[in-house]
């Protein structure tokens, strides 16, 4: 949900590209429903290498514990899931267990997918069985000891996994419950927007309060509905616009969220996206997501050192699009003044935005997005630190200065 993260999205080939003919289906509406739900679950993002064949797997996921490689989930009978039954597929989603009973690593969001109904699981299964087979053996994970011992996952599951389909809350509206089902289940939003602890699990007490995404070195902002870092003062329409088009009057999506919008949310119905917005806006408020404590003498001195240089760079490089006082030119150029994502305690996203630049995703409702050039090659670490410090502390923004060291550590971070 950030309005200051670098744009990067992946275009995947259509379902019938570069592969054998799909399996015939006797229930076209079920397959169509499954395709929609697979979009909602953003299955393509992990199970398709950019530019390669759909659902052929093999995409590397670098974690603090080693590298995982996503499996082939195409309809190939030998290397994909072509011989799986609907029951086996549901067991995988609901219980986090593969066809042979082995426990799945939690990079697969089965802790969220367990909430998916059996009917929706069967529809997704029917769709995956209909896509062209890709004959590619799944690649073995490269995990360090002891993380390569799957039996240790029993401990992780005891701490962090609770199986069970989503149960509607009778005290809430049908729209709210639909949004909750999509956000907590197929959308698996907590995977990014909740901090990951040392064991690779999400703390239930900190759900949706934001956290660093270790796979990608991005910060997924808080979604809790306070005015500091959440969606409390966003309108429903602004949230809908951000999710469906990738831009709204309040900001634009970049980085990993741009990929989610491109591959998933732009294809969802207006009613479903609105339901998600209604649920997100109703999340309980939390404090502490922005550091509002008085700055120390050292912090003030650092700001005073960098601020004049940052203002000079901003006036020369940024003001043309983001305006003299940081008010931006919505929806194409997000405002920087009074922008929650600029001011958060974490400065990762604005640093990466200046270093890497990027575009919001090209979507059906925003087919020709505006973008920002990268400055990694033209600005030094000190100059990037200066301009980010400026935008975090100018115009009444209450972010803290950033250091040259913070910029240098992110200069070589992966783009996605």
**CATH number of the domain within which 264 lies:** 1.10.760
| Closest among 261, 255, 238 to 362, alpha carbons compared | 261
Q: Is the peptide bond before 331 cis (omega within 30 degrees of 0)?
A: yes
CB of 398 closer than 8 Å to CB of 343: yes
Domain annotation covers residue 68: no
| Domain enclosing residue 209, as ranges | 174-281
CA 174 to chain centre: 26
Domain annotation covers residue 251: yes
| Closest among 33, 1, 54 to 268, alpha carbons compared | 33
CA 143 to chain centre: 23
Structure pTM? 0.85
Rounded to 10 deg, the angle between the 86-95 and 118-130 helix axes is: 120
Rounded Cα distance between 97 and 332, Å, is 44
* pLDDT (tens place) for every residue of the chain, 416 residues total: 333 333 333 333 333 334 444 454 568 999 999 999 999 999 999 999 988 999 999 999 888 889 999 999 999 999 999 999 999 999 999 999 999 999 999 989 999 999 999 999 999 999 999 999 999 999 999 999 988 898 889 998 998 899 999 999 999 999 999 999 999 999 999 888 887 776 777 667 678 877 777 656 788 888 886 656 678 788 999 999 999 999 988 888 888 899 999 999 999 999 999 999 999 999 887 665 555 666 666 667 777 889 999 999 999 999 999 999 999 998 888 899 988 888 888 899 999 999 998 888 999 999 999 889 999 999 999 999 999 999 999 999 988 999 999 999 999 877 65
**What's the structural domain count of the chain?**
1
- Please write the tens of the pLDDT for every residue from 20-67: 444 545 689 999 999 999 999 999 999 999 889 999 999 998 888 899
Query: Within 10 Å of residue 149's Cβ, how many Cβ atoms?
Result: 9
What Rg do the C-alpha atoms of the chain give, in angstroms? 22
Domain annotation covers residue 11: no
Domain annotation covers residue 243: yes
């Amino acid at each position: 949900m950030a309005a200051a993260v670098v744009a990067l999205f992946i275009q995947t080939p259509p379902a019938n590209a570069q592969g054998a003919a799909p399996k015939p289906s006797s229930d076209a509406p079920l397959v169509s429903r499954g395709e929609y739900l697979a979009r909602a679950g953003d299955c393509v993002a992990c199970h398709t290498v950019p530019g390669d064949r759909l659902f052929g797997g093999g995409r590397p996921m670098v974690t603090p514990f080693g590298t995982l490689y996503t499996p082939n989930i195409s309809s190939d009978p030998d290397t994909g899931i072509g011989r799986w039954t609907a029951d086996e597929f549901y067991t995988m989603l609901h219980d986090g267990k593969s066809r042979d009973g082995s426990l799945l690593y939690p990079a697969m969001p089965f802790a969220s997918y367990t909430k998916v109904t059996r009917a929706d699981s069967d529809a997704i299964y029917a769709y995956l069985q209909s896509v062209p087979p890709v004959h590619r053996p799944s690649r073995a994970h490269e995990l360090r000891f002891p993380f390569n011992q799957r039996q240790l996952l029993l401990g992780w599951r005891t701490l962090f996994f609770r199986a069970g389909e989503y149960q509607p809350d009778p005290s809430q509206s049908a729209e709210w419950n639909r949004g909750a089902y999509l956000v907590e289940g197929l959308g698996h939003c907590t995977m990014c927007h909740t901090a990951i602890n040392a064991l690779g699990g999400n703390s239930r007490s900190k759900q949706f309060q934001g956290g660093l995404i270790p796979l990608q070195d991005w910060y997924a902002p808080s979604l809790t509905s306070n005015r500091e870092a959440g969606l409390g003062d966003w309108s429903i329409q602004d949230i809908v616009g951000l999710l469906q088009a990738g831009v709204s009057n309040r900001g634009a999506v970049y980085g990993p969220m741009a990929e989610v919008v491109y591959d998933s949310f732009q294809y969802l119905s207006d009613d479903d996206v609105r339901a998600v917005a209604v649920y997100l806006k109703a999340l309980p408020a939390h404090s502490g997501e922005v550091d509002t404590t008085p700055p120390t003498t050292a912090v003030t001195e650092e700001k005073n050192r960098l601020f004049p240089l940052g203002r000079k760079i901003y006036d020369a490089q940024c003001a043309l699009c983001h305006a003299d006082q940081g008010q931006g030119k919505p929806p194409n150029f997000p405002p920087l003044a009074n922008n929650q994502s600029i001011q958060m305690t974490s400065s990762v996203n604005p640093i990466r935005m200046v270093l890497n630049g990027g575009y919001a995703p090209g979507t059906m409702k925003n087919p020709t997005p505006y973008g920002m050039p990268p400055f990694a090659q033209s600005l030094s670490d000190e100059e990037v630190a200066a301009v980010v410090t400026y935008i975090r502390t100018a115009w009444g923004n209450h972010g803290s200065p950033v250091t040259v060291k913070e910029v240098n550590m992110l200069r070589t971070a992966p783009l996605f």
